[in-house]
């Protein structure tokens, strides 16, 4: 399924290209003997939409395909020219078909299908991120709204934010006495900072005009929050969420390599111990695609809630 990205579009384009190219030719050859005068205005009208569509299609599809093709080419060269042990794209593809033919098998605690591994990782990210959102978003609002809290917590945030989340893993193991909660704790720590910071910045950047409206209307603190603060901060908040989920997805792989159990990160480590490099490459693509889907869906969500004023 992973390698399918590389092969199927190329195969799909190859037969389509001659079909598109063939279209403009028969039209003038049919029209010309019938009525040359009438064909003159018709000629630019009928072939050009086809040509434009084909051109637009190629502009949109060709560069990404070339990019992917380039990757496959480099990959094949590296795999073929050295004895590095990196499997060829074809061998990886063959293994991927095997892996994805039964993604949800269970043959013991340390031998489960790739589907379970991804789901377990997503679950850890979901729990850790959810807890971080529960704490981080209200904290961000409080820090943004009250100068005192901002001065109080800014040094702490500046100090702790640059620390690699994995440095917190031993603390998690010590406190929670278990691999799974420790991994969740690591996700919590790494995803809380972007949410606190972005929410706080969003609150501080609420236009003064809106706050003046609130003051002139003498709105209650609850109305200010629901009608002004929250909608104004929402785009910032969603950016924070997007960054947090992105970081969490980066960190979970490393955390699971250390904690073990079931998860995509552990799967990579396990396959490395089995010297099964093709599986590792498959896992890399799976991680990339899941990350892409998460990012894309959060961007879509963010655009739904962004009320940038259209200049009239």
Residue 206 beta carbon to other proteins: minimum distance, rounded to whole angstroms: 11
- Residue 236 parent element (H or E): helix 230-259
User: Which structure tokens are listed for 257?
Assistant: 């390599």
57 versus 225: smaller Cβ distance to other proteins: 225
131 versus 219: smaller Cβ distance to other proteins: 219
What single-letter DSSP state applies at residue 166?
G
Q: Is 231 an interacting residue with respect to other proteins (CB under 8 A)?
A: yes
Residue 303 beta carbon to other proteins: minimum distance, rounded to whole angstroms: 14
User: Which structure tokens are listed for 71?
Assistant: 């990757």
Contacting residues for 62 by C-beta, under 8 A, at least 6 apart: none
How many Cα atoms sit within 13 Å of 206 on the Cβ side? 23
149 versus 213: smaller Cβ distance to other proteins: 213
User: SS3 sequence, 53-72?
Assistant: HHHHHHHHHHHHHHHHHHHH
Residue 227 beta carbon to other proteins: minimum distance, rounded to whole angstroms: 6
165 Cα distance to chain centroid: 20
What single-letter DSSP state applies at residue 167?
G
Residue 203 beta carbon to other proteins: minimum distance, rounded to whole angstroms: 16
DSSP bridge pairs for 38: none
Residue 304 beta carbon to other proteins: minimum distance, rounded to whole angstroms: 12
Contacts with other proteins in 204-223 (CB under 8 A)? 209-210, 212-213, 215-219, 223
Count residues binding other proteins (CB under 8 A): 19
For residue 110, which phi and psi values (nearest 5 degrees)?
Answer: -105, 10
Q: Is 304 an interacting residue with respect to other proteins (CB under 8 A)?
A: no
Q: Is 308 an interacting residue with respect to other proteins (CB under 8 A)?
A: yes
Q: In this structure, are residues 129 and 244 in contact, taking their beta carbons and an 8 Å threshold?
A: yes
Site of tokens 């003498």: 218
212 versus 274: smaller Cβ distance to other proteins: 212
Residue 239 beta carbon to other proteins: minimum distance, rounded to whole angstroms: 17
**The only residue of 29, 82, 273, 312 in contact with other proteins, by rule CB under 8 A:** 312
Q: Which residues bind other proteins (CB under 8 A)?
A: 209-210, 212-213, 215-219, 223, 227-228, 231-232, 307-310, 312
């Amino acid at each position: 399924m992973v390698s399918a990205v590389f092969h199927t579009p190329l195969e799909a384009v190859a037969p389509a290209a001659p079909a598109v190219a063939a279209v403009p030719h028969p039209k003038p050859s049919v029209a010309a003997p019938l009525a040359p005068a009438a064909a003159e205005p018709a000629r630019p009208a009928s072939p050009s939409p086809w040509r434009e569509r084909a051109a637009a299609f190629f502009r949109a599809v060709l560069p990404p395909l070339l990019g992917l093709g380039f990757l496959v080419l480099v990959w094949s060269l590296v795999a073929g020219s050295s004895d590095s042990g990196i499997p060829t794209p074809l061998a990886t593809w063959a293994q991927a078909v095997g892996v994805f033919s039964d993604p949800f098998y269970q043959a013991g605690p340390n031998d489960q299908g790739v589907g379970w591994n991804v789901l377990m990782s997503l679950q850890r990210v979901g729990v850790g991120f959810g807890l971080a959102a529960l704490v981080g978003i209200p904290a961000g609002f409080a820090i943004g709204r009250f100068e005192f809290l901002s001065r109080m917590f800014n040094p702490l945030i500046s100090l702790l934010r640059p620390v690699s989340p994995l440095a917190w893993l031993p603390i998690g193991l010590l406190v929670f006495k278990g691999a799974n909660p420790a991994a969740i704790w690591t996700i919590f720590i790494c995803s809380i900072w972007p949410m606190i910071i972005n929410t706080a910045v969003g609150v501080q950047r609420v236009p003064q005009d809106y706050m003046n409206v609130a003051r002139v209307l003498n709105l209650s603190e609850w109305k200010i929050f629901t009608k002004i603060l929250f909608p104004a901060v929402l785009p910032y908040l969603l950016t924070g969420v997007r960054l947090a989920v992105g970081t969490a997805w980066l960190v979970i792989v490393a955390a699971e390599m250390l904690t073990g159990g079931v998860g995509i990160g552990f799967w990579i480590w396990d396959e490395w111990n089995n010297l099964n490099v093709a599986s590792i490459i498959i896992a890399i693509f799976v991680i990339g695609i899941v990350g892409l889907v998460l990012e894309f869906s959060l961007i879509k969500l963010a655009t739904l809630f962004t009320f940038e004023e259209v200049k009239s």
